[in-house]
Structure 1
Amino acid sequence: MPRKKDLGGGFQILGADSTTHGGYVTGTLNLNNISAVLIDGDEATIDLGAIHGKSKAERGIKFIDDPSQMEAELPNPKTYYIVWVAVDRGPNGPFYAGLGDCTVQIDRKARRGFKNMAEHVNQMDAAMKRKVKIKFLDNRAKRALKQLLIDHSQEMWNNTPEETKAALESET
């Protein structure tokens, strides 16, 4: 059974003990210290359901596989962002260690959506490896994410490397 882990910064992290069931989770991704943030416009919220492809925005949506079908299947898509946030602990305490972003296109009325699963996996992997890869966020989303991270824990934000903070600076 997954256990909850708290790094002292308040992010609730779901993890699996690698010794459970004598190596039951061997060969699986270790999701310790990773969380997901869903950004809808200028509102960013922690949404752990996104780790399993079931964010608040994705529930009840049938996803198409072929991007060439987007125009036909999603006449009025809305873009949501999912940001993978890795946290770690340094000598000064917990900090935001890695970020990776990706998009989800959803047409609520049509109940259809599109997401590039390979991109989601690659961006989550980058965050887990403590890399900062912000490729898709617009300025509004960057501001929302930055504010969520600061509001969540000023201490963690203060301990975060400048490279990570710079990636969330919006262009004027």
Structure 2
Amino acid sequence: MADQSSNQKKTNQFTIIKDDPNDGHGGYGVGAISLENMSSVIIDPNEDRAFVDMGAMHARSEVERRVKFQNDREVVANGKRYWIVWVTTEKGENSPYFAGVCGSEIVVDRSIKRAYKSMPEHVKHMEKSLKGNIMVDHMDDHSKKLLKDFLADFEGGDMWHHSSDELKNALPE
């Protein structure tokens, strides 16, 4: 049982940026995007929950499994909305902090095993998060509140405390 709780704790961790993998060598891979400091947070407004699910990095999150993706939102008109929030962390002087936070919509209809997401939007939001942008205005207020509560409570709130006012102002109290 203790083993299980330690495994669960591991899956709820944010990836904090590590040392530069290129270390200035200028060789193969220079200019490649590193996702080492990005994590994916799933916001499930239907169940009032938010959680880290690194499977989303490869379209294998809990909400994306066992469904076939469609390009037409109308196919899943009766589906449930979720958000995959791309959260980038950086090391600050005092503590790691949430640097980029961008939410991407996903709609899932389990009854027909179909789902909708815009891959170009997800890729754009991942890139924007990596660049330190905050893009959550398009999310519904309930989902933004779930995200804010999750980030603010994460590991005692230290990362939230050191995050930008822009992020804090973008998410409701």
> Which TM-score band applies after superposition, normalised by the shorter structure?
0.7 to 0.9
CA distance in 2, matches of 1:14, 1:80: 26
Secondary structure of residue in 2 paired with 1:147? helix
1:158 aligns with 2:161: yes
Give the whole-Å Cα distance in 2 for the aligned partners of 1:118 and 1:60: 21
* Contact persistence 2:16–2:90 (CA under 8 A): no
Matched, 1:36 2:40: yes
Gaps of 5+ in 1: 1-9
Within the candidate set 96, 116, 119, 1:117 is matched to 119
Superposition deviation, residue 28 in structure 1: 3.7
RMSD: 2.1
Maintained 8 Å contact 2:17/2:90: no
User: How much does 1:27 deviate?
Assistant: 5.5
The correspondence of residues 21-60 of structure 1 with structure 2, limited to 5 A, is 23=28, 25=29, 28-41=32-45, 42-60=48-66
Distance 1:79 1:115 in 2: 10
Distance 1:140 1:125 in 2: 25
Could you say which residue in structure 2 is the equivalent of 1:4? none
Distance in structure 2 (CA, Å) of the matches to 1:17 and 1:52: 21
The structure richer in strand per residue is 1
Find 1:140's aligned residue among 129, 138, 142: 142
- Match runs of 1:101-112 below 5 Å: 101-112=103-114
Does the CA-based 8 Å contact 2:53-2:62 persist in structure 1? yes
The size of the alignment, in residue pairs, is 154
Determine if contact 1:64/1:114 at 8 Å carries over to the other structure.
Answer: yes
1:136 CA displacement: 2.6
Which stretches of structure 1, 4 residues or longer, exceed 2 Å deviation after superposition? 12-19, 25-29
- 8 Å contact 2:17–2:89 — kept in the other structure? no
Aligned partners of 1:14, 1:90: CA distance in 2, in Å?
A: 11
Cα distance in 2 for partners of 1:81, 1:115 equals: 10
CA shift, 1:90, in A, is 1.2
Taking every aligned residue pair, what percent have the same amino acid on both sides? 36
Contact residue 103 and residue 136 of structure 1 kept, 8 A: no
CA distance in 2, matches of 1:28, 1:57: 28
2:98 alignment partner in structure 1: 96
Is the contact between residue 16 and residue 96 of structure 2 (CA under 8 Å) also seen in structure 1? no
Structure 1 residue 17 displacement after superposition: 4.1
Cα separation, 1, equivalents of 2:93 and 2:76: 48
> Residue 50 of structure 2 contacts residue 147 of structure 2 at CA under 8 Å; is this kept in 1?
yes
What TM-score do the two structures reach when normalised by structure 2?
Answer: 0.80
CA distance in 2, matches of 1:12, 1:97: 12
The aligned counterpart of 1:11 is 14
Identify the residue that residue 6 of structure 1 maps to in structure 2: none
Distance, in Å, in 1 between the alignment partners of 2:83 and 2:57 is: 13
